[in-house]
Amino acid sequence: MPEARPAPRSRTVRRLRPGRWVLGGAVVAVGALASLQTVGPPESTDTAEAEPAPDACGTPLTKSDGSPWTCTFAEDFDGTSLDEGRWTIQETVKTGFRSEATCFTASEGNVSVADGVLRLTARDEGVPKSCRNAFDDFTTPYTGGMVGTKGKFSQTYGRFEVRAKYPPSNASGLHGGFWMLPVDNKYGPWPSSGEIDVAEWWSTDPTLVPPSLHYKGRHYAADTGWNCRISDVTGWHTYTVEWAPSGLDFFIDGEQCFSRSPVPADPLVPPQPFDQPFSMILNFQVSMPSGTNKVSAATPFPATYEVDYARAWK
């Protein structure tokens, strides 16, 4: 039975639905006010400033300069299937895209929505299977799930956030997270046009969830948030980036853990290549049979990355 969805920490109201939510106190009919008479001195008319009404992203947020963030994308994964008006499911046999030892599929075993949660599952299918496509004759026993907003939502600068939970693990072999890619390779093929990893995770070091930037001129140590850790990987956490022309700030559960103003290699100048629309990507996959996060007989399968919501503001 799927785990019950916990109440999100950061939302006051998820969505207003008739018959489900009641806001405020008792309702007083306007006509009844005419019969009321004031007795004695009038009470003070001072009232507290009204709280801003929730928007599609929940409780309105304020930027560091005091201006409001405007919600531009809000996905709560309600319903029983992925909203294909907002997301595309990655399928290796159609696109040729693969990562590490994983064949991405649209199978419900790899990508599913239920109880208000998106589930991306990495699996060992037991025997090697063909993942053949127009670009690669690829065979692997491992499948995974990946979804993205390319062609359906993208944005230059702003605030991007997911609330997610990684699976319990004490063995290497699993890899996934929340990241962003440019819609067009404006400055050339990867990594020239940039990549923003908001919360990347490997099961070999499960408390480390580092943000990272990829581009020409990248510095391995300076462009990764090696101090971005969580104490309990099996709990729900929010992973956020606030991206501006001046640089990028990364947060876990509202606490900033990394900040970077990238300096690209010539001939680019800041904020290039991070000055163009990026789309959001969520994925969970299986690593290669070698390296520090190698897949092995000890890797726990199936393993699922769960996402409660994805949001963006401008």
> Residue 55 gets which letter from DSSP?
B
Is the residue at 302 inside a domain? yes
The chain-wide mean pLDDT, for the chain, equals 88
Answer positive or negative: Cα dihedral of 162, 168, 169, 173: negative
| Average pLDDT estimate for 223-237 | 94
Is the residue at 298 inside a domain? yes
| Average pLDDT estimate for 250-272 | 98
Residue 44 has pLDDT above 70, yes or no: no
Is the residue at 174 inside a domain? yes
Q: What local confidence, expressed as pLDDT, does residue 48 receive?
A: 55
Token pair 């359906």: residue: 152
Supply 88's token pair: 């595309």
Is the residue at 83 inside a domain? yes
**Domain encompassing residue 211:** 71-313
Residue 51 has pLDDT above 90, yes or no: no
Residue 4 has pLDDT above 90, yes or no: no
| Average pLDDT estimate for 59-84 | 96
Q: Which residues pair with 297 in a beta bridge?
A: none
Percent pLDDT > 90 in the chain is 81
Q: What local confidence, expressed as pLDDT, does residue 233 receive?
A: 83
Q: pLDDT digits over 120-158, tens only?
A: 999 999 999 999 999 999 999 999 999 999 999 999 999
Amino acid occupying residue 242: E
Is the residue at 62 inside a domain? no
Is the residue at 82 inside a domain? yes
> Residue 274 gets which letter from DSSP?
S
Is the residue at 228 inside a domain? yes
Residue 253 pLDDT level (bands cut at 50, 70, 90): very high
Q: What DSSP line would sit under 58-101, residue for residue?
A: BS--B-TTSPBP-EEEEE---SSS--TTT-EE--HHHH---BTT
CATH no. for residue 237?
A: 2.60.120.200
**pTM attached to this predicted model:** 0.84
Is the residue at 53 inside a domain? no
Number of domain units in the chain: 1
* 140-176 core/surface letters (b: 16 or more CB in 10 A; e: else): bbbbbbbbbbbeebbbebbbbbbbbbbbebebbbbbb
Q: If DSSP codes are grouped into helix, strand and coil, which group holds residue 305?
A: strand
